[in-house]
């Protein structure tokens, strides 16, 4: 799994922040995002099916979904109160919370019944037996009061207390009355505690069912949140567990949002991976890094049980994902960027050696050194991953000669206009910035096709002074 | 406690007349043992006698736990069956009323989350409340939501913030011998606080969110630093509105520009934001055209208590006369009552 900073950069946090949840239970599931691991294949499949069915429900019966959301909204986290059952006598406030929760179950159960029949592991079960323990009078009021019905003695004490109130009104603060009043209030408190102890005892058989209901609510809330996002954005169910590793028409909501502010559109990215090294080449400013992050985002989403932002996606069951990207810095350890990168690379090699399928993403690896040695370093990495049968490596580089070692080679198309003078004229006429003239699409190219020579063209198009550009060509 | 039961018998209806149409009343003490709780208990008694359903809460009492445990003499709040109480869960055991739990508010305090319950018997309750204005409003609205006809707010000791007009539409200020052994000082300081609560409304609106806002003939000017307003102030501003706390520091800033302000009126958002010493306030009043507030507070009465918790009792008649005299000098017209008669 990527670290928090990386999850932020690839746009995973952006996506999870867009998942709106109604309950603290759902929020907690979202926070604990992780890859479904070995032995959890079935669970992942069920989660995906649940999301798919909920997407359909949102489309077909939006009013039903809204009713469920409204019922989920007031649900609070009462696991501490439930946890205390069987451990000690519950307080009035804890019993109040449990009563509220039981009343919420009474409403949620029928409302979700139809949906939950089609869903996996999301059944909300009402517990009328528990409710009648807490609410023996059957008032179903959303408040909690230790009922007279539960104790003859309690009702006796309360009657006496009322009589005493009347007496005090008549005779005022006679010391004898004040003392009696204090004593009777203490007696009520004691009897109240004893009755609460009995209620707690009678709730013990329901403890597991209460907890199971909180878990069902968590799963329903989280799946519904993911489904609502998928419905809104058109995200699709990925096929996880396939032999092929292919994601077509991927987008990245975080970058899309940034681009749309500038009036630009995100160019969808398609990638086919094989075991071993896949190389992406392309000019500077060409979007290699965005392609890598978009892949990282969608694979992470798929493995964490989300739908993905793509036209279609299939991938093998992945055990882990690692990424070394150009914005990595290791200031704290005092290492240079290059030194830090190499140490991180080494750590990654050991961490992924004995795992199941691993996706390794290298974005402009070794860019901090000279091109001659840099190319050698990247080529060695490509060869190493070609030898590892558990690794799908994607290497974005602009070094020469790396792509020849690749199982597959993709190119970011780069500049659409070939003549720098024409380009410069159009830029100068205010036709937009350079990105308008770039094709960020990824295209498969033969392994031996060298990276394009767009750098000089771009410099010229940007209008960098001739004093300098004239010297480049000589 | 005995004091409370004494009041129970008397059946004086003094406070009820005062608070008449006020839906949310705050009682603020100048110090501990000023008699604030006596005032509250009388108000509760008088309202309940007339069949009102009362809501009760207080302003956050963080750091007062030791006081709760050690100061056993302090009378507590006594309610009848039916009253609705918003208080910290940890304070519930200090009371002895039977409770029907109505709500868990999610508002945290050092004494536990604030809960709301209905008294199902008469009895004592210990009040603890929220510390931010936003939360206090939430509680007040919740109390009205549970059917209360009037909400009474117990002002935590020495906290003037609950005079906040956003919250209460009437305030009673309680002062007493426990404030200072020097009666003269107690009377003067009480009159000063009372005068802040009696400031008139400016009748101007606030448009910006900046710390300072100058209203001039040429329009409005906004700045977070006073020196950025030098130009408009030089040209003569009618109003200088201060959007936030006005402290002694603010006063110093303003006095540095006193020359520019001699024809300007000063306006604070409300009395609770005026957190400056009397000397600073007086100087500013002298060098400018005086203070107003954007939202005024209704000061209903000042109560006095000649009994000191520290043994330095005042002469009751002398004290009440002195406070009346100081209030008159400060131009405050509020009634002054002795808590003995409250």
The string of pLDDT tens digits covering residues A187-236 is 999 999 999 999 999 999 999 999 999 999 999 999 999 999 999 999 99
CATH number of the domain encompassing residue A449: 3.40.50.300
B142/chain A closest Cα distance in angstroms: 14
Please report whether residue A245 resides in a domain: yes
Write out the H or E segment, with its range, that includes residue A165: helix A152-171
Q: Does the beta-carbon distance from A168 to B100 stay under 8 Å?
A: no
Please report whether residue A20 resides in a domain: yes
Co-location of A371 and A286 in the same domain? yes
Co-location of A307 and A427 in the same domain? yes
Is the CATH number of domain B2-198+297-341 3.40.50.1970? no
Please report whether residue A406 resides in a domain: yes
pLDDT tens track for B91-143: 898 889 999 999 999 999 888 999 999 999 999 999 888 888 789 899 999 99
Q: Which residue of B has its CA nearest to A165?
A: B122
Co-location of A138 and A284 in the same domain? no
Q: Is the pLDDT of residue A425 over 90?
A: no
A96/chain B closest Cα distance in angstroms: 6
Which residues in chain B are contacts of A165 at CB distance < 8 A?
A: 121-122
Question: Where does a domain end: A192, A226, A260?
Answer: A226
| A139 in reach of chain B (CB within 8 A) | no
Question: Where does a domain end: A194, A226, A258?
Answer: A226
Q: Structural domain tally of chain A? A: 2
CA distances from B260 to A143, B288, B289 (A): 60, 9, 12
Co-location of A222 and A240 in the same domain? no
The domain segmentation of chain B, as residue ranges, is 2-198+297-341, 212-293
Co-location of A129 and A266 in the same domain? no
**Facing residue for A144 by CB, picked from B9, B89, B100:** B100
How far apart CA A250 and CA A269 sit, in angstroms, is 5
pLDDT tens track for A24-42: 999 999 999 899 988 999 9
Co-location of A216 and A244 in the same domain? no
Q: Does the beta-carbon distance from B96 to A145 stay under 8 Å?
A: no
Co-location of A332 and A216 in the same domain? no
**Within 10 Å of residue A41's Cβ, how many Cβ atoms?**
13
Which residues in chain B are contacts of A161 at CB distance < 8 A?
A: 121
Co-location of A310 and A454 in the same domain? yes
Which residues in chain A are contacts of B115 at CB distance < 8 A?
A: 93
pLDDT tens track for A48-83: 999 999 999 999 999 999 999 999 999 999 999 999
Tokens encoding A368 = 């901090």
Question: Which residues form the domain of A76?
Answer: 4-144+203-226
In which band, very low, low, confident or very high, does the pLDDT at A146 lie, cut at 50, 70 and 90?
A: very high
Question: Where does a domain end: A226, A260, A285?
Answer: A226
Please report whether residue A166 resides in a domain: no
Q: Does the beta-carbon distance from B104 to A93 stay under 8 Å?
A: yes
Burial class (CB in 10 A: 0-12, 13-18, 19+), B15: buried
**Facing residue for B5 by CB, picked from A91, A144, A172:** A172
Please report whether residue A298 resides in a domain: yes
| A103 in reach of chain B (CB within 8 A) | no
Q: Does the beta-carbon distance from A173 to B9 stay under 8 Å?
A: yes
How far apart CA B277 and CA A378 sit, in angstroms, is 71
Please report whether residue A305 resides in a domain: yes
- Nearest CA to B273 out of B160, B153, B188, B137 is that of B160
In which band, very low, low, confident or very high, does the pLDDT at B23 lie, cut at 50, 70 and 90?
A: very high
Co-location of A110 and A240 in the same domain? no
Please report whether residue A183 resides in a domain: no
Terminal CA-to-CA distance of chain A, rounded, Å?
A: 48
A181/chain B closest Cα distance in angstroms: 9
Check residue A89 and give its pLDDT. 97
| A178 in reach of chain B (CB within 8 A) | yes
Instruction: Estimate the crossing angle of helix A92-118 against helix A207-233, to 10 degrees.
Output: 50
Check residue B8 and give its pLDDT. 44
Co-location of A366 and A458 in the same domain? yes
Which residues in chain B are contacts of A182 at CB distance < 8 A?
A: 96
Co-location of A214 and A290 in the same domain? no
Q: Does the beta-carbon distance from A145 to B100 stay under 8 Å?
A: yes
Q: Is the pLDDT of residue B29 over 80?
A: yes
Co-location of A119 and A242 in the same domain? no
């Amino acid at each position: 799994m990527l670290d928090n900073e990386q999850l932020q950069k690839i746009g995973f946090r952006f996506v999870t922040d867009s998942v709106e949840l109604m309950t603290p239970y759902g929020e907690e599931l979202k926070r604990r995002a992780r890859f479904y691991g070995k032995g959890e294949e079935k669970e992942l499949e069920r989660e995906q099916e649940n999301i798919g069915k909920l997407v359909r429900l949102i489309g077909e019966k939006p009013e039903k979904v809204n009713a469920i959301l409204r019922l989920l909204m007031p649900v609070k986290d009462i696991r501490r109160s439930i946890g205390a059952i069987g451990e000690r006598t519950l307080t009035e406030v804890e019993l109040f919370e449990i009563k509220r929760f039981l009343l919420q179950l009474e409403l949620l159960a029928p409302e979700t019944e139809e949906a939950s029949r089609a869903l996996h592991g999301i059944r909300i079960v009402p517990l009328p037996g528990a409710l009648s323990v807490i609410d023996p009078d059957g008032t179903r009021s959303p408040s909690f009061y230790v009922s007279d019905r539960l104790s003859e003695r309690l009702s006796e004490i309360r009657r006496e207390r009322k009589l005493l109130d009347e007496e005090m009104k008549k005779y005022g603060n006679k010391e004898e009355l004040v003392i009696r009043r204090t004593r009777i209030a203490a007696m009520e408190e004691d009897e109240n505690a004893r009755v609460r102890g009995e209620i707690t005892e009678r709730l013990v058989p329901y403890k597991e069912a209460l907890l199971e209901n909180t878990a069902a609510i968590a799963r329903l809330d989280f799946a519904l949140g993911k489904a609502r996002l998928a419905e809104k954005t058109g995200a699709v169910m990925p096929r996880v567990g396939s032999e092929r590793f292919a994601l077509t028409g991927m987008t990245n909501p975080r970058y899309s949002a940034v681009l749309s502010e500038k009036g630009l559109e995100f160019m969808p990215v398609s990638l086919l991976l094989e075991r071993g090294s896949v190389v992406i080449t392309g000019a500077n400013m060409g979007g290699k890094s965005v392609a890598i992050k978009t892949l990282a985002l969608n694979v992470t989403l798929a493995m964490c049980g989300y739908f993905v932002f793509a036209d279609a996606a299939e991938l093998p069951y992945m055990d882990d994902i690692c990424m070394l990207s150009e914005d990595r810095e290791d200031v704290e350890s005092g290492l240079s960027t290059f030194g830090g990168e190499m140490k991180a690379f080494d750590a990654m090699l050991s961490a992924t050696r004995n795992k199941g399928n691993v996706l390794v993403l290298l974005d402009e690896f070794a860019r901090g050194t000279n091109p001659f040695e840099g190319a050698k370093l990247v080529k060695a990495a490509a060869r190493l991953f070609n030898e590892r049968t558990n690794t799908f490596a994607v290497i974005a580089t602009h070094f020469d000669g790396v792509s020849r070692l690749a199982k597959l080679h993709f190119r970011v198309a780069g500049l659409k206009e070939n003549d720098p003078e024409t380009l410069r004229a159009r830029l100068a006429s205010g036709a937009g910035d350079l990105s308008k003239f770039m094709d960020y699409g990824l295209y498969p190219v033969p392994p031996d096709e060298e990276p394009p020579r767009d750098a000089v063209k771009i410099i010229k198009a940007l209008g960098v002074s001739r004093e300098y550009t004239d010297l480049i060509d000589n | 406690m005995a004091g409370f039961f004494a009041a129970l018998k008397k059946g004086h209806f003094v406070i009820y007349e005062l608070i008449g149409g006020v839906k949310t009343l705050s009682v603020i003490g100048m110090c501990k043992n000023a008699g604030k709780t006596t005032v509250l208990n009388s108000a509760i008694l008088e309202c309940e006698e007339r069949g009102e359903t009362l809501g009760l809460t207080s302003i956050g009492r963080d750091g007062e736990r030791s006081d709760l445990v050690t100061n056993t003499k302090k009378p507590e709040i006594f309610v009848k069956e039916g009253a609705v109480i918003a208080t910290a869960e940890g304070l519930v055991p200090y009371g002895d009323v039977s409770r029907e739990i109505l709500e868990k508010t999610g508002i945290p305090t050092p004494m536990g989350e604030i809960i709301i319950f209905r008294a199902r018997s008469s009895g004592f309750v210990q009040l603890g409340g929220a510390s931010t204005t936003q939360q206090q409003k939430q509680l007040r609205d919740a109390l009205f939501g549970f059917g209360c006809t009037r909400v009474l707010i117990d002002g935590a000791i020495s906290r003037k913030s609950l005079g906040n007009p956003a919250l209460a539409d009437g305030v009673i200020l309680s002062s007493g011998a426990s404030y200072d052994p020097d009666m003269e000082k107690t009377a003067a300081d009480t009159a000063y606080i009372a005068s802040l609560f009696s400031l008139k409304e400016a009748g101007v609106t606030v448009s910006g969110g900046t710390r300072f806002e100058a209203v001039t003939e040429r329009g409005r000017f906004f700045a977070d630093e006073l020196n950025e307003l030098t130009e408009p102030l030089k040209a003569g501003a009618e109003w200088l509105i201060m959007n936030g706390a006005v402290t002694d520091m603010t006063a110093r800033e303003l006095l540095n520009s006193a020359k520019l302000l001699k024809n300007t009126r000063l306006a604070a958002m409300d009395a609770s934001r005026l957190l400056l010493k009397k000397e600073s306030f007086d100087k500013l009043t002298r060098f400018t055209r005086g203070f107003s507030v954007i939202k005024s507070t209704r000061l209903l009465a000042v109560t006095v208590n000649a009994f000191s918790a520290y043994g330095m009792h005042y002469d009751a008649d002398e004290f009440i006369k002195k406070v009346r005299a100081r209030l008159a000098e400060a131009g405050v017209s509020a009634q002054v009552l002795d808590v003995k008669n409250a």
